[in-house]
Structure 1
Amino acid sequence: MIEIRSDLAKFLAGNFPNLKISDDEDLFAGGIANSLFTIQLIMFIEKRFSVQIPNDDLELDNFRSIATMTKLVERLTGTPSDD
């Protein structure tokens, strides 16, 4: 069973253990993430969820929050999250 939201939250918690990040928190506006970390997010998402993120979807808006990343993965996998 794919648990998109919780897997993304766990990945972020592993990288930022001292922060509590809400689903809608803007990772870039809050200074949590930068462009280098975005590459790590892309690599994690592609590997964990067995997807290839098309060039058209490589926009910061798709990686701003747990909620936007969850929607991206749901769209790419065609599977709604069970979380």
Structure 2
Amino acid sequence: MSKSTRDEFTGLNPMHTTMQMFSPSKLLVESATMIFIMSFALLILTIMVWKGATLSPELTAALMIGLFVTFLVAVRQYASFR
């Protein structure tokens, strides 16, 4: 919610309080996005380390590409919030 809108709705109006409570801030969205993307990347990395020797070369290549794409999306998401 922008500062002008926030200044306009000062007081104890339950509707506006609810809107401010449930409208995510930029920092919250950025943090949640990065946590989700990094946890997905760690999951792929863990699977590759745990099952790496038994995976076929095609699946290993697909996981490597998935890991690369995950980090690419993470960087683009992080840059879009800046």
Normalised by the length of structure 1, the TM-score is 0.30
Higher-helix-fraction structure? 2
What's the TM-score once normalised by structure 2's chain length? 0.30
Answer 1 or 2: higher relative contact order, Cα 8 Å, separation at least 6. Answer: 1
